[in-house]
C-alpha cells in the first residue's frame, strides 16, 4: 500500500521530515498546497517559520524518489473565515 504524507508547512523541518520518511520508505509521496508552499520563497517569515518555494520542495522530493501531489485547495475558499487569498494570488489559479 502506498502512503502519501500530508504536510501543513513548506518549512525546512517539513522538507527534512518528508525526506526522512521517504528514505525510510514509510511514505511514497508528499502532498503540497498553495496555502503553505508558496510559488516563490516567503522572505517575510524567518527561522523555523520560513516557507520554502514549492519548486525546491518538489526537486528534493523527486530526488528522493518520492511522488509529489499538489492540491490547489480551491474548494477551501467556501469555508467560513478563509482569508488567505494572497497565497492563491502567487499561483494564478
What SS3 class is residue 32?
A: strand
How far apart, in Å, are the Cα atoms of 4 and each of 1, 88, 93?
10, 23, 23
- Put simply, whether the predicted model's pTM sits higher than 0.75 gets the answer no
What local confidence, expressed as pLDDT, does residue 63 receive? 96
Grid coordinates representing 39 are 510559488
**β-pair type (67-70, 29-32):** parallel
pLDDT digits (tens, 9 = 90+) for 12-57: 788 888 999 999 999 999 888 777 777 777 667 665 556 778 888 8
Asked whether the predicted pLDDT for residue 64 surpasses 90, the reply is yes
Amino acid at each position: 500500500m502506498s502512503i502519501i504524507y500530508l504536510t501543513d508547512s513548506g518549512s525546512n523541518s517539513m522538507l527534512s521530515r518528508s525526506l526522512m520518511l521517504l528514505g525510510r520508505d514509510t511514505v511514497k509521496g508528499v502532498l503540497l498546497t498553495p496555502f503553505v508552499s508558496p510559488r516563490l520563497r516567503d522572505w517575510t517569515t524567518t527561522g523555523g517559520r520560513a516557507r520554502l518555494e514549492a519548486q525546491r520542495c518538489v526537486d528534493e522530493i523527486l530526488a528522493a524518489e518520492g511522488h509529489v501531489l499538489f492540491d490547489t485547495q480551491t474548494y477551501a475558499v467556501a469555508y467560513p473565515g478563509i482569508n488567505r487569498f494572497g497565497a492563491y494570488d502567487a499561483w494564478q489559479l
